[in-house]
Amino acid sequence: MSAQIFSFTSTITQAPQRLVSYRVLLGLYAIIPLCLLLQGCDRFFFGEILKNALPSSPNHYVVFQLLFGIPHIIASAITLSSNSEYVQFFKLKILLMSAFIVLFFGMGSLFIPYKVLYIITAIWTVYHVLKQQHGITRGLYQLPNWAFNTLLGLSVSAGIVIYISIFLKNQLTLTQAAFIQSSAAGLCLGLIVATLLSQRYIKSLFGKTFLWANSLLVLSSFYLAMQQYYFLAILIPRLVHDTTAFVFYVTHDYNRHQQQPTNFIYRWASYGHIPIFMVLPVLAFGLAFVLQNYGDALISHVTHYLFDVEVRKAVTLGLIGYLSLMHYYTESFTWKNNSPYRRFIGFKK
């Protein structure tokens, strides 16, 4: 999800029975000191055994892909598509974006270099992840617009450079790699200065802690990437982002369906006496497992049987790619104050 400037004091048309706790969200950032401690112990006490054992990216682990990334994207799609009210409300935007994805990322891939498409997707991914975290806490910050936008801009810029330095490292020359590392270092230094200047506007210690937690998402990833702990560098923002998203989705669905299920998923769940908090996570992780492990083979088999044509990666690249891009887009407006989603989300410290 990509939260849009949530206000702590905002009123909701239908007060929810469950509120999203800022303290729970802040607790997710405990992954930062844990990963730094793990890296420090590995370097100074264990001869970098962990570093040598870890892959260069979490995406190299199938288990990681099943836990992070894909499930929360599927959960987002389920939340939107299974509620006819939401589909009707956002129908035009969904149709236009679907056409754009097919034309630009589908047909455009025949003409646009892969690396260009990859960098565009990387920029969109990093912006989506960091905009979510900053957007959620803006109501706590109460920062002037210039300060908030400066922090967000520096965070996203540094995050993009770090992301590229990790995932394209094998395709960079020594000169390019050095330039990218220097750029990331400069942006991170600017982020530290901006955070120091911005914290004076925040009155509460809790708000200042959250401010630094968001900056440390980027700073810790930069440090770990420079130490070549690429897995941990990606794990930190991925875990915080995805788990935060699930907190929102599950809370939303509980408040929407706990008194009277309003779609077929929760009606079936109520017949089976499945707790509401379990429905979306079980469904999202289950579908992620099936699609990731069996989707491509199934589509390939069907197309080969019916048309004598073997279609490869129709699910992992086609369907999941489409859902990911649509997720980045829809989450930029589905949680805004004028969205029907907001009737079922509230906040507490």
Give the pLDDT mean for 27-45: 95
88 domain-assigned: yes
What gap in Å lies between CA 163 and CA 217, rounded to an integer?
A: 13
Range of the domain at 112: 20-348
| Per-residue pLDDT tens over the stretch 275-319 | 999 999 999 999 998 888 887 787 777 776 667 666 777 777 788
Specify the pLDDT at position 161: 94
Number of independent structural domains in the chain: 1
Q: Give a yes or no: residue 104 inside a domain.
A: yes
Q: Is the pLDDT of residue 211 over 50?
A: yes
Q: One-letter amino acid identity for 58?
A: P
pLDDT surpassing 60 at residue 13: no
Mean pLDDT score, 18-24: 91
pTM of this prediction?
0.87
CB 120 within 8 A of CB 163: no
Q: Does a structural domain hold residue 68?
A: yes
- Cα distances (angstroms) measured from residue 68 to each of 142, 199, 218, 279, 285: 31, 31, 18, 18, 9
Q: How confident is the model at residue 119 (pLDDT cuts 50, 70, 90)?
A: confident
| CA Rg value for the chain | 21
- Assigned domain for 13 exists: no
Note whether residue 6 is domain-resident: no
Predicted local distance difference test score (pLDDT) of residue 14:
52
Q: Does any domain span residue 299? A: yes
pLDDT of 131 higher than 50: yes
